[in-house]
Amino acid sequence: MIEFDNLEEYLKCGLDFTDFFEREIFDYLLKRDGKLFYNPATRMMCYIHLTPIYYVEQNYVGNRTYL
């Protein structure tokens, strides 16, 4: 699990929102709990009790020379 306590770190890791609802739920739970968790194995964002909330879009931000 990867822990996030602010939006900047979330976006810097190459993760993104698919719609407005996901962004709002992220902001709400971050304000309520102080942190959220990302499970890279299932690609799900989880709240403080590690319960999956929504599927996360991944934008690869690394080196693309192998393509």
pLDDT of residue 66: 43
pLDDT band for position 67 (50/70/90)?
very low
Q: Which amino acid is at 53?
A: I
- Total-model pTM: 0.76
Measured in degrees and rounded to the nearest 5, phi and psi for residue 25 equal -70, -35
Task: Spell out a b/e string for 10-27, using b for 16 or more CB atoms within 10 Å of the CB, else e.
Answer: beebebebeeeebeebbe
**Quick one: tokens of 44?**
């799900």
Summary mean pLDDT of the chain: 85
The tens digit of pLDDT for each residue in 3-35 reads 999 999 998 888 888 889 999 999 999 999 999
Q: Which runs of consecutive H residues, i.e. helices, occur in the chain? A: 7-12, 20-33
**C-alpha–C-alpha distance, residues 59 and 19, integer Å:** 15
